[in-house]
Chains A and B, each alone.
Chain A
Amino acid sequence: MAVSAIKNTANRVQQAFYNVMPNFVAGKKADKFYKTSGREISSAENRLILGVTALMSQPFIDFYNRKIDEDTRRVAVCRTVAKIIAGTLTGYAVRKGTIKGMQMCSQLPGNGVPRWKTLFTPKDVKKIDTDEFKQYQNALGTYISLGVMVFTNFLIDAPLTKFLTNKFNEKVVEKKSGGTK
């Protein structure tokens, strides 16, 4: 009873949203942009886009956070920038690497194709040059990258973040004290 009432309300809210939303018909360029994005943006590119946009927003959010003192704020900004750079570089490289790896290991069985190259090919797939199969390889590669990142978080991300934070912080302190430390 309560569930159906919630569902009805959610449907009404959604319908109201679509009623006010203007119709959008993509032109030739927009259509091409959407289709290319759907085909080419894997989780690796997604991580790169997130990293670049993060650099444009997060340091400013930290910088204008007036609830903490100036010193803490300075370190927070340095740490945020360092964390974004380290996280984006590692995240992109690991995802891209595992996706490439999965593309190598998910080919169709055939003459001259070694067994390891068909290790991750689903048995019921007969054609691999399709968008669906490319998305499958992206998904598989991304899931495997999550396992890899459990280790790279400790081995690369954390030390690199620490190193960059200290470097940035030193630079800021140096600049603030007029070039002399």
Chain B
Amino acid sequence: MNLDKVLSNLYKNYGENPGKMLVHTGTAGWILSCAAQLMAIWTNDKIPPEQKTFLIPQELGDGLINILSFYILTSSVKNLSSKAVLNGKIANKAIRKYLEKHNLTDKIGKIDFNIKKTEHFGDIKEDFNAFKNGVDVIASTAGSILSCNIVTPILRNEYAAKQQVAANNVLAQKKENEKTPYNRFTMKDYQSILRHPGMRI
């Protein structure tokens, strides 16, 4: 694919849909950010390999929560608002007037109704597109605030707390294992010492 085709596709896809662009670039941003964090752990020589086996899945889990929460929530809020403009539930005065003029008010709110596909759409095309772009951008921004600033931190804290408990358990177990040879003096050890009279206790 050459540069011209890429640029034309970008123009066609996002020229009339800034809300979609915010969702797509936001998701791509989270994916890259997660990849960067993973790379940082993977290439860090100061982190021992056994810690990497814990840190990499932890970071991966954290990244997946961020990406999924952002994409699902932001795109849902954006799509619901976008459709609400297309079916006339959210409108400005000019759009409402257009619907009344062409006897389309009974179709407002029906999910299979799309103002863009009506016969005289050309009459309000510019006004409609500008209004819809605005609603899309506001909805995408509201969706990303909800996901990035409220839902994701709560989910991430839950996940991190569980990970911390698991990590502490592993650490405690490891310490316990290290102590064992010194703390447990078994009957067998005692008999073994008795069998060597030259050894002083």
Give me 8 A-to-B residue pairs in the complex whose CB atoms sit less than 8 angstroms apart, sorted by A's number: A11-B111, A23-B88, A24-B89, A34-B92, A42-B18, A123-B8, A140-B7, A158-B40
Q: Which residues of B contact A36 (CB under 8 A)?
A: 134
What is A's interface to B at a CB cutoff of 8 Å?
A: 11, 14-15, 17-19, 21, 23-28, 30-31, 33-39, 41-43, 46, 49-50, 53-54, 56-58, 61-62, 65, 67-68, 72, 80, 120-125, 131-133, 135-136, 138-140, 142-143, 146, 149-150, 153-154, 158
Q: Which residues, 105 to 130 on B, are CB-close (under 8 Å) to A?
A: 108-111, 129-130
Other-chain contact of B15, A34, A132, A149, A158 (Cβ < 8 Å): A132
Main SS of chain A's interface residues?
A: helix
Give a binary string over B147-162; 1 marks a CB under 8 Å from any A CB, 0 the rest: 0111001100110110
B133 on the A face (CB < 8 A):
yes
Q: In the bound complex, do residue B150 and residue A57 qualify as a contact, i.e. CB atoms below 8 Å apart?
A: yes
B84 in contact (CB, < 8 A): yes
B54 on the A face (CB < 8 A): no
A46 touches B22 (CB 8 A): yes
The answer to whether A120 touches B130 (Cβ under 8 A) is no
Q: Give the residue name and chain of the A residue nearest to B79 (CB).
A: A14
Interface centre among B4, B129, B133, B136 (most CB of A within 10 A): B133
Q: Across the interface, which residues of B come within 8 angstroms of A14, CB to CB?
A: 80, 83, 111
A21 near B89: Cβ-Cβ < 8 Å: yes
A21 to B87, CA, bound (A): 12
> Pick the contact of B149 from A11, A58, A150 — CB < 8 Å?
A58
